[in-house]
Amino acid sequence: MEKVKVIIMGLGAMGGGMADMLLKKQGVEIVGVVGRGKMLGTSMYDHISTPRGDREDVIVGAMEDVITEKAADVVLLCTDSFTRKAFDKIKFIVEKKINVISSAEEMAYPMAQEPELAKEIDRLAKENGVSVLGTGINPGLIMDLLVILMTGCCEEVHSILSRRVNSLSPFGPAVMEEQGIGITVEEFNKGVQEGTLAGHVGFHESIGMIADAIGWKLSAPITQSMEPIVTDVDRKSPYGFAKAGNVAGCAMKGFGYVDGELKIEMDHPQQIEPEQVGVQTGDYVIINGVPNINMVNSPEVPGGIGTIAMCVNMIPQIINARPGLHTMIDLPVPRAIMGDFRDLISEEAKIVK
Amino acid sequence: MEKVKVIIMGLGAMGGGMADMLLKKQGVEIVGVVGRGKMLGTSMYDHISTPRGDREDVIVGAMEDVITEKAADVVLLCTDSFTRKAFDKIKFIVEKKINVISSAEEMAYPMAQEPELAKEIDRLAKENGVSVLGTGINPGLIMDLLVILMTGCCEEVHSILSRRVNSLSPFGPAVMEEQGIGITVEEFNKGVQEGTLAGHVGFHESIGMIADAIGWKLSAPITQSMEPIVTDVDRKSPYGFAKAGNVAGCAMKGFGYVDGELKIEMDHPQQIEPEQVGVQTGDYVIINGVPNINMVNSPEVPGGIGTIAMCVNMIPQIINARPGLHTMIDLPVPRAIMGDFRDLISEEAKIVK
């Protein structure tokens, strides 16, 4: 069998990390990279951690030049957070008869926020005989798939609390800005009111995925809240700085109601340097049910590595899947790939034979 | 759509618990129960916790009378621990063109201990257009599927430790005997030497499932060890009693090697009344990798409820699956079913239309 052929679209922190990860794996190769602006014509190896060594070079190209019909088995699309912004790219790729894995948060469960686009993606994928999946660490695993898995050993579920207390310190300037790191409380509150602070994107997706998976019908629109985490001491991370009295993080909560009762709660405080002030980071799954579940992974799975690994590790599942739009709840569980990628691929599902 | 129709074979603690659970659910009904000896001709409700009320009665019958062609969508087979002992029953059921979920520990990954029988079950299932799955709490979830899921957010996995520290107090006389509760250390050691103490069945299955899932080739046969947990104080559970100085539990370990290196370790001490001596029970997933995972669910998922829930909750997945022998790693994740079972079933996969 030919090696599994991957195109990476968007060579930022996520796409670049996926390239580095793929270069360590067997039975898989990067056959193209899509970028834009000044990156066009440069070597992929100029933008990632792995040195080129004696590998064949991969030159960053424009979408139309790199993504041609059946040029790869899968495109890892790492450019957006929102389905609406990713849609045209997904359409372009599936019409070239290539599978897609998107790291866009909304694509983890696009039926939550963009049901019409989700239907259209499903239709386009089926028409072209390929599959589309959105995944990542969150949404994608920690605050949804892991929760759903643990309900699997429950006879009854009364309510769910998913909590992710994580550090933003490893992240770069874009995340610092999205989360309001270093700004004043007044600026933060203004950003919340005006909708300019992004915070975490994913509660609609995680809550929607859990509710649909276990058969709860949400009786009201999902709501969320956003509060500043104000620091008492100066905190400094590689790309962020918060003076005492200013904002060191963004605490978000999300709420899903069934028959007027709060059934699914998300609690996700994100901040730089939590250890400095004695905050223990971790991922928590707390299920009030039969039996109760009281699970913690501490420290938390780091967001960057986790998203990179989830997107790469789902490559076999999305190649093997029946054509259409998929989500993490209808595919076999993600797993690390320590052997040859080809051992995991069905012959008949391979695009580049 | 007709309700999902279930036959339960074996109405012991597990089968009986599944009946109680199913009776609380929507869109599913128990259409038959298979038993033997004195149970034949009695009402199912004489053997379970749920009162009959004004429900139609279900009379326990012999296998040949209850399991007729397409009499149900699935049989929950709760009679054995070993594939070899369950095989004839599985063959009988699939030849009647009904899907099977087995709680037999070895059936969670029958290719580990019985590769020939596994192939034959796969062949028979495909020939008859139905699916077969073995599952439970362990093997089935805690020491394998959950571990595998968490490797899904890892770029690399160096080694795995799965630990389950659980209480045997809720279990009945059969488990007390299998685990050597109350016997002397000499009797325990003799039982280990002569192979008469069963202990935990499942390490071959869990280690085999993890290794295959992440692409590690085991370089040596899986080994395991079995030590008595000797109590310093008298311990008493509803069905067990261990005098100070005698055996209150059975500590098993399992070892999977890759290229001569210990890569997968299982640690599973089981005892009555662990709280009495300050032992904190819990399920642990410890992955040495990129990133590290350090997860605990405490207290542990109780074995009985967990197995009952896993078998019932996988009903939609096994009805929808393509024909053949399946395992937890090739099906969508288990989840609680709080809505109508029929909402989860594909029309074309339903057996009793």
Element (H or E) spanning A324, and its range?
Answer: strand A324-326
- Nearest Cα of chain B lies from the Cα of A291 at a distance, in angstroms, of 7
What pLDDT is attached to residue A16?
A: 96
CA atoms within 13 A on the CB side of A66: 26
Q: Is there a domain that residue B324 lies in?
A: yes
Interface test with B, best of A103, A142, A155, A156 (most B CBs within 10 A): A155
CA B37, CA B30: separation in Å to the nearest integer? 21
Q: What is the pLDDT of residue B221?
A: 95
pLDDT score of A10 more than 90? yes
pLDDT digits (tens, 9 = 90+) for B10-42: 999 999 999 999 999 999 999 999 999 999 999
Nearest Cβ partner of A215 from B295, B314, B343?
B343
Q: What percent of chain A has pLDDT over 70?
A: 100
Of B153, B309, B330, the CB nearest to A137: B153
Residue A172 has pLDDT above 90, yes or no: no
Please report whether residue B84 resides in a domain.
Answer: yes
Structurally, chain A folds into a number of domains equal to 2
- Indicate if the pLDDT at residue A173 is higher than 90: no
Given pLDDT bands bounded at 50, 70 and 90, which one contains residue A292? very high
Q: Are B78 and B162 found together in one domain?
A: no
Residue B173 has pLDDT above 90, yes or no: no
Chain B residues with CB under 8 Å of A330 CB are: 332
**Residues A282, A250 share a domain:** yes
Q: Give dist(CA B80, CA A118) in Å, integer.
A: 45
- Residue-wise pLDDT for A247-273, tens only, equals 999 999 999 999 999 999 999 999 999
Q: Do B332 and A331 touch (CB under 8 A)?
A: yes
Q: Confirm whether B217 is domain-assigned.
A: yes
How high is the mean pLDDT of chain A?
97
Q: What is the CATH number of the domain that holds A158?
A: 3.30.360
Which tokens hold the place of A73?
Answer: 């088995």
Interface ipTM above 0.95? yes
A323 has a pLDDT exceeding 90: yes
Using an 8 Å CB-CB cutoff, list chain A residues near B313: 152-154
CATH number for the domain spanning B49: value is 3.40.50.720
Q: Starting from the edge strand earliest in sequence, which strands make up the sheet with A28-34, in order?
A: A60-61, A28-34, A4-9, A74-77, A99-102, A131-134, A324-326
Co-location of A130 and A171 in the same domain: no
Residues of B in contact with A324 (CB under 8 A): none
CA-based nearest residue in chain A for residue B217: A339
Q: Among residues B91, B14, B1, B11, which one has the least CA distance to residue B312? A: B14
In the block, tokens 């596994």 appear at B118
From chain B, the residues in CB contact with A310 under 8 A are 152-153
Give yes or no: residues B53 and B191 share one domain: no
Nearest CA in chain B to A343: B215
- Whether residues B167 and B29 share a domain: the answer is no
Query: How far from the centroid of its chain's Cα atoms is residue A29's Cα?
Result: 22
Residue B309 binned pLDDT confidence (cut-offs 50, 70, 90): very high
Total-model pTM: 0.97
Indicate if B37 and B181 belong to the same structural domain: no
Q: How far is B341 from chain A (nearest CA, A)?
A: 9
Predicted confidence band at A301 (pLDDT cuts at 50, 70, 90)? very high
**pLDDT tens, position by position, B215-262:** 999 999 999 999 999 999 999 999 999 999 999 999 999 999 999 999
Q: Which domain holds residue B244?
A: 143-299
**A276 is a domain residue:** yes
Residues B208 and B102 in one domain: no
Residue A188 pLDDT level (bands cut at 50, 70, 90): very high
Residues from chain B contacting residue A312 (CB–CB below 8 Å)? 155
Tell me if A294 and B293 make a contact (CB, 8 A cut-off).
no
Q: Who contacts A33 (Cβ-Cβ below 8 Å, separation ≥6)?
A: A7, A8, A9, A11, A15, A19, A44, A58, A59, A60, A61, A66
pLDDT at position A60 over 90: yes
Whether B174 shows a pLDDT value over 90: the answer reads no
Same domain, A329 and A196: no
The answer to the question of residue A347 being in a domain is: no
Asked if residue B221 and residue B333 are part of one domain, the reply reads no
Q: Is residue B147 located within the same domain as residue B280?
A: yes
Over residues B38-71, the pLDDT tens digits come to 999 999 999 999 999 999 999 999 999 999 999 9
How much is the pLDDT for B216?
A: 98
Residue B147 included in any domain = yes
pLDDT band at B198 (very low <50, low <70, confident <90, very high): confident
- In terms of domains, do B127 and B13 share one? yes
Q: Tell me: pLDDT of A174 over 90.
A: no
Residue B206 covered by a domain: yes
Q: Do A146 and B149 touch (CB under 8 A)?
A: yes
Produce one character per residue of A31-63: b if its CB has 16 or more CB atoms within 10 Å, e if not. bbbbbeeebeeeebbebbeeeeeeeeebebbeb
Is there a domain that residue A174 lies in? yes
Instruction: Provide the pLDDT for residue A346.
Output: 94
Name the phi and psi angles at A309, rounded to 5.
Answer: -65, -40
Q: Same structural domain for residues B207 and B106?
A: no
Q: What is the pLDDT of residue B170?
A: 87
Instruction: Kindly state the average pLDDT of the residues B311-326.
Output: 98
| Average pLDDT for A118-136 | 98
Beta-carbon separation of B152 and A310 below 8 A: yes
